[in-house]
Amino acid sequence: MDHFLYRDGALYAEDVPVAEIAAAVGTPFYVYSTATLQRHFRLFDEALDGMDHLVCYAMKAASNQAILKTLAQMGAGMDVVSQGEYLRAKAAGVPGDKIVFSGVGKTSDEIRCALSGGIRQFNVESEPEMIVIDRVAQELGLIAPITIRVNPDVDAKTHAKIATGKSENKFGIPISRAKEVYALAASLPGLDVIGIDCHIGSQLTDLEPFRLAYEKISELTETLRAEGHNIRRLDLGGGLGIPYTRSNEAPPLPVEYGQLIKDTLGHLGCEIEIEPGRLIAGNAGLMVSEVIYVKSGEGRDFLIIDGAMNDLIRPAMYEAHHDIIPVIEAAPGVEQQPYDIVGPVCESGDTFAKQRNLTPMQPGDLVAFRSAGAYGAVMASEYNSRPLIPEVLVTGDQFAVIRERPSFDEMINRDTIPAWL
Ligand code: LLP
């Protein structure tokens, strides 16, 4: 459920007409709904009710500070994967003891920054990384809290580019080697080994891979405890999928996911962390774009819009489907027609949808891409020298620009010309 609904034929973001935002900020832009972000966070938080837990929002999904603050005010922690994300979370007011640091290649600078600024834990991905964390902690005279990410070798049954839990993926240490890696960790004086971490992939639409992974984590917890490790925290990653279309079968709900966690891991008495990103932000955001031209091609009509693959890369990169809907609904009885919906960027990959049925469109009409709140704005680039598009946050009948559209000068003047030119 989200808060982007039609009223009298006009699409609203909560209580604000989307067309009103377009008139104020220009197109294309991203718009997020506070109520939807809050609702999704609460679903996870309530799903783990009765367990000692922290929901750490995977801020890679949508990292604007206004979004982070909205969630942090509800008690969310953050899952970060770079120094930039760490500093952004801190800037949004998230305390260090609610920030977990994931990612396969943390540099010593990143580790130093997070250790000195305060960190809940590092999710360690390899032995060499563990040794660097230990060294930096000793240099700073601190103890680094860590979990070790184990790769449980389960098939997440999702798009190959976002599956992470098979042994051929670059993530974590093989679960078969966990005993020796934990023994090494326990021998390093700069580390406090507090638990286990695992994340098997993104946009999972079935609970079974989670079950398989969490059963392995349960078994591993008992094995490691028997070896003398005080395993007291389990970070279970993110990955629960969202419905990208209204027609297809809905993925499992957070409450069902929470029940699975309780069933597989509840008996261990560990503190539970989860790192959802997409489910919190995905359906809390739209990308809104204007039709520039309607072009008749050979046997098909192209809707050429002012948003492009640099603004929303998911269709080009993952063949991802986003529902595309008119901001003003057609009058009743007007028949839909198929369009190829494309951006102005100079490559055929800049195609959002082929032969998608839509109400008849004219230049100047607005369309909204649903489910664009996660991995939308954060993956945008300035390809074709197109400035990054603005972000807007709505709450009730108010809206605010939370990232301005840079001017062309701002974009161009970031280049510096060497003296010899
Ligand atoms: N934790 C870790 C360690 C992760 O690598 C990820 C996502 C998450 C949590 C959050 O997963 P989520 O709950 O959002 O599924 N750009 C791709 C998705 C990449 C996901 C990367 N890791 C897309 O647009 O589909």
**Residue 98: both structure tokens together:** 């609610």
Q: How confident is the model at residue 27 (pLDDT cuts 50, 70, 90)?
A: very high
**Protein residue whose Cα sits closest to atom 8 of ligand 1:** 238
Which amino acid, one-letter code, is at 384?
N
Residue 334 has pLDDT above 90, yes or no: yes
What is the average per-residue pLDDT within 123-139? 98
Which of the two residues, 2 and 149, has the higher pLDDT score?
A: 149
Euclidean distance between CA atoms 164 and 81, whole angstroms: 15
What is the average per-residue pLDDT within 5-19? 98
Residue 297 has what pLDDT?
84
Q: How confident is the model at residue 248 (pLDDT cuts 50, 70, 90)?
A: low
Residue 50 has pLDDT above 70, yes or no: yes
Ligand 1 centroid, distance to 199 Cα (angstroms): 9
Euclidean distance between CA atoms 79 and 90, whole angstroms: 12
Cα 361 off chain centre by: 32
- Whole-model pTM above 0.95? yes
Can you spell out the DSSP letters for 55-107? EEEETTS---HHHHHHHHTTT-EEEE-SHHHHHHHHHTT--GGGEEE--TT--
Q: 56: which strand partners?
A: 77
**Which tens digit of pLDDT belongs to each residue from 266-295?**
999 999 999 999 999 999 999 999 999 999
End-to-end CA distance of the chain: 56
**Which tens digit of pLDDT belongs to each residue from 178-215?**
999 999 999 999 999 999 999 999 999 999 999 999 99
pLDDT above 70 covers a percentage of the chain that reads 99
Largest CA distance in the chain: 73
Q: Are 209 and 287 in contact (CB under 8 A)?
A: no
Ligand 1 centroid, distance to 61 Cα (angstroms): 7
Euclidean distance between CA atoms 183 and 148, whole angstroms: 11
Only one residue has tokens 């051929």, namely: 168
Which atom of ligand 1 is found nearest the CA of 282? 14
Catalytic, 56? Answer: no
What is the average per-residue pLDDT within 235-264? 93
Ligand 1 centroid, distance to 174 Cα (angstroms): 20
Q: Are 246 and 323 in contact (CB under 8 A)?
A: yes
Residues with C-beta less than 6 Å from any ligand 1 atom: 58, 61, 79, 102, 162, 199, 202-203, 237-239, 275-279, 314, 318, 375
Residue 1 has pLDDT above 80, yes or no: no
Euclidean distance between CA atoms 94 and 101, whole angstroms: 13
- Residue 87, SS3 per DSSP: helix
Residue 76 has what pLDDT?
98
